[in-house]
């Protein structure tokens, strides 16, 4: 611990120049230290590498990453090789084998995959930050597939409300059918438990509830209790005009899936504030708006397999803000760099052609896209999505018309 603390002070001093994170106090908080220690490094080398993964890999600029690396190396007296660190790591050791997907396994995908898998293995909530089209959503989907886990997704926007995240009271439809089903189930259970139902009105919900109450009393401690309780719940709900419907977060917590909250920074602070307790080590959620008979209806504790991954674009563009530092620090942040048009771009575009014979068009297509970006003065004009759409169009058009011009096809696909 002494080593980490000395590192903390060195880091704070280094933050006198405005790098790494926006404020000196954000360089290394206690939460970072707990996360670092929680990954249980077994050697000083591993301690430094985990520190690098946690502190440097969230930096958005290369010089910041280098600064963190230098501080770690000078304090811990080891050498960190980021490239070989990810190349050498054994994926099955992390408990995950990449599933087959439409994604091309590039070195940057391997880095992001390892960082995300390591965080999830340690049950840390993850924040993926990157420009549009850098592959954040695809990475989360790919990870869920590779882990063989269900993914529950919520796309945030300016009008996302708390109800969209947690759930809300909704009007009950088909109430007659629900009533009939509940009564039939009750009669069936009564018969199984040897209760005479000859004199009971089959549609009298109150009479059924009375029988259940006395059975719950008589059969205390028996294995039938659970069934009777859920039957009581079902009967109590038949006259409700409104009933609670769980939102994606609550569903995901209850079923123990991976919850992906996409473009989180677009949502209002009142929505994001509800995440705070789920991101604490206890990971509970108080659903005050739900109401209910049991405490477990209101205080949600997730299954142990529940994980949370959120994505956001860096602040700055229209409608895109940064998260508050309190919320941001609860996540393990991973910076996803834009897909470059060099090695990774070439590998991805090469793999996306319908026919391998079209690969000779990869370099001209990328050069053409680079040229447009240079002319306009922004690299956001043509992203990877546009290039992939172009390969699809080119593939289908070149199949029928070998003379089509590259420029006109690209222009036509970009207009769509
Ligand atoms: N490694 C990759 N191989 C192939 N396609 C990729 C890769 N990474 C990203 N893409 C593609 O880039 C596009 C943008 O990815 P997406 O995950 O939607 O980005 P984001 O969520 O960051 O905006 C998608 O069409 C996706 O399939
Ligand atoms: Mg996305």
Cα separation, 75 vs 10, in Å, equals 8
| Ligand 1 atom nearest to CA at 139 | 17
CB of residue 143 inside a 6 A radius of ligand 1: no
Tell me the best of 135, 320, 380 to mutate to test the pocket of ligand 1, counting ligand atoms within 8 Å of each CB and taking the most. Answer: 135
The domain locations on the chain are 2-87, 123-166+247-335, 173-239, 343-415
Cα separation, 284 vs 249, in Å, equals 11
pLDDT reported for residue 412: 55
What letters, b where the CB count within 10 A reaches 16 and e where it falls short, cover 338-352? bbebeebbbbbbbbb
pLDDT, tens digit, for every residue of 253-302? Answer: 999 999 999 999 999 999 999 999 999 988 999 988 887 667 777 889 99
Please check whether residue 245 is in contact with residue 170, taking contact to mean a CB–CB distance below 8 angstroms.
yes
| Ligand 1 atom nearest to CA at 336 | 22
Tell me the best of 107, 362, 384 to mutate to test the pocket of ligand 1, counting ligand atoms within 8 Å of each CB and taking the most. Answer: 384
| Ligand 1 atom nearest to CA at 347 | 3
CB of residue 391 inside a 6 A radius of ligand 1: no
Task: Enumerate residues 6+ apart whose C-beta is below 8 A from 76.
Answer: 3, 7, 44, 47, 48, 51
Work out the pLDDT band at 18, boundaries 50, 70, 90: very low
pLDDT, tens digit, for every residue of 164-210? Answer: 999 998 888 888 898 999 999 999 999 888 888 888 888 899 999 99
CATH topology of domain 123-166+247-335: Rossmann fold (3.40.50)
Q: Ligand 2 centre from 190 Cα, in Å?
A: 52
Which ligand sits closest to the CA of 153? 2
Residue with tokens 């990328």: 366
CB of residue 108 inside a 6 A radius of ligand 1: no
- State what percent of residues in the chain have pLDDT above 70: 87
| Minimum CA distance residue for ligand 1 atom 7 | 103
pLDDT reported for residue 20: 42
CB of residue 389 inside a 6 A radius of ligand 1: no
| Minimum CA distance residue for ligand 1 atom 5 | 103
* Lateral strand order in the sheet of 126-129: 151-155, 258-262, 307-312, 126-129, 332-335
pLDDT reported for residue 338: 86
Residue, of 390 and 5, whose pLDDT is higher? 390
CB of residue 136 inside a 6 A radius of ligand 1: yes
Cα separation, 251 vs 260, in Å, equals 12
Phi and psi, residue 244, nearest 5°: -80, 135
pLDDT, tens digit, for every residue of 301-316? Answer: 999 999 999 999 987 6
pTM over 0.85: no
Q: Ligand 1 centre from 235 Cα, in Å?
A: 48
Task: Enumerate residues 6+ apart whose C-beta is below 8 A from 162.
Answer: 270, 271, 274, 289
What distance lies between CA 416 and its chain's CA centroid? 29
Q: Kindly report the CA angle at 87 between 84 and 93, in degrees rounded to 5?
A: 120
Q: Which of 382, 406, 380, 375 is nearest to 393 (CA)?
A: 406
Instruction: Output the DSSP codes for 275-344.
Output: GHHHHSTT--EE-TTT--SSHHHHEE---TT-EEEEEEPPBTBTT--PPPHHHHTTSEEEE-PPPPTTHH
3-class secondary-structure state, position 243: strand
* Cα distances (Å, whole numbers) of residue 289 to 240, 243, 245, 274, 404: 16, 12, 11, 12, 60
Q: Ligand 1 centre from 141 Cα, in Å?
A: 10
| Ligand 1 atom nearest to CA at 352 | 4
pLDDT, tens digit, for every residue of 315-365? Answer: 765 556 788 888 999 999 999 998 776 778 888 988 888 888 888 888 888
CB of residue 134 inside a 6 A radius of ligand 1: yes
Please check whether residue 103 is in contact with residue 109, taking contact to mean a CB–CB distance below 8 angstroms.
yes
Please check whether residue 114 is in contact with residue 143, taking contact to mean a CB–CB distance below 8 angstroms.
no
CB of residue 138 inside a 6 A radius of ligand 1: yes
| Tokens of residue 372, six digits | 């447009």
CB of residue 157 inside a 6 A radius of ligand 1: no
Average pLDDT over residues 231-236: 88
Q: Ligand 2 centre from 130 Cα, in Å?
A: 9
pLDDT, tens digit, for every residue of 143-153? Answer: 999 999 999 99
Residue, of 35 and 219, whose pLDDT is higher? 35
Q: Which of 340, 288, 39, 24 is nearest to 4 (CA)?
A: 39
pLDDT, tens digit, for every residue of 50-109? Answer: 999 999 999 998 988 998 899 899 989 999 999 888 887 778 778 888 888 889 998 899
């Amino acid at each position: 611990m002494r080593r980490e603390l000395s590192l903390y002070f060195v880091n704070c001093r280094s933050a006198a120049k405005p790098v790494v994170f926006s404020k000196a106090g954000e360089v290394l908080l206690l939460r970072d230290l707990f996360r670092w220690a929680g990954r249980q490094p077994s050697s000083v080398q591993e301690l430094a590498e985990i520190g690098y993964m946690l502190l440097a890999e969230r930096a958005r600029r290369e010089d910041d990453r280098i600064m963190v690396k230098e501080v770690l190396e000078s304090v811990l007296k080891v050498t960190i090789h980021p490239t070989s660190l990810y190349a050498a790591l054994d994926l099955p050791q992390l408990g995950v084998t990449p599933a087959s997907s439409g994604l091309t396994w590039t070195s940057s995908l391997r880095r992001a995959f390892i960082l995300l898998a390591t965080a999830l293995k340690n049950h840390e909530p993850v924040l993926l930050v990157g420009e549009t089209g850098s592959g954040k959503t695809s990475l989360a989907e790919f990870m869920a597939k590779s882990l063989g886990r269900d993914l529950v997704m919520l796309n945030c926007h300016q009008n996302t409300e708390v109800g969209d995240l947690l759930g809300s009271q909704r009007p009950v439809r088909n109430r007659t059918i629900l009533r009939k089903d509940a009564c039939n189930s009750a009669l069936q259970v009564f018969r199984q438990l040897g209760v005479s139902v000859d004199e009971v009105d089959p549609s009298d919900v109150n009479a059924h509830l009375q029988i259940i109450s006395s059975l719950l009393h008589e059969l205390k401690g028996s294995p039938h209790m659970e069934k009777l309780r859920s039957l009581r719940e079902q009967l109590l709900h038949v006259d409700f005009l409104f009933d609670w419907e769980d939102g994606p977060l609550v569903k995901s917590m209850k079923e123990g899936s991976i919850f992906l909250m996409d473009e989180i920074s677009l949502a209002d602070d009142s929505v994001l504030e509800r995440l705070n307790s789920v991101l604490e080590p206890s990971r509970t959620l108080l659903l005050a708006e739900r109401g209910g008979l049991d405490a477990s209806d209101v205080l949600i504790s997730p299954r142990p397999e529940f994980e949370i991954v959120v994505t956001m674009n860096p602040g700055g563009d229209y409608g895109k803000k940064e998260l508050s530092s309190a919320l941001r620090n609860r996540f393990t942040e991973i910076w996803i760099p834009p897909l470059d048009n060099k090695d990774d771009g070439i590998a991805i575009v090469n793999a996306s052609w319908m026919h391998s014979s079209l690969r000779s068009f990869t370099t001209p297509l990328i050069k053409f896209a680079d040229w447009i970006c240079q002319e306009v003065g922004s690299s956001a004009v043509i992203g990877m999505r546009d290039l992939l759409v172009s390969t699809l169009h080119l593939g289908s058009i070149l199949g029928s018309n070998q003379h089509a011009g590259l420029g006109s096809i690209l222009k036509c696909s970009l207009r769509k």
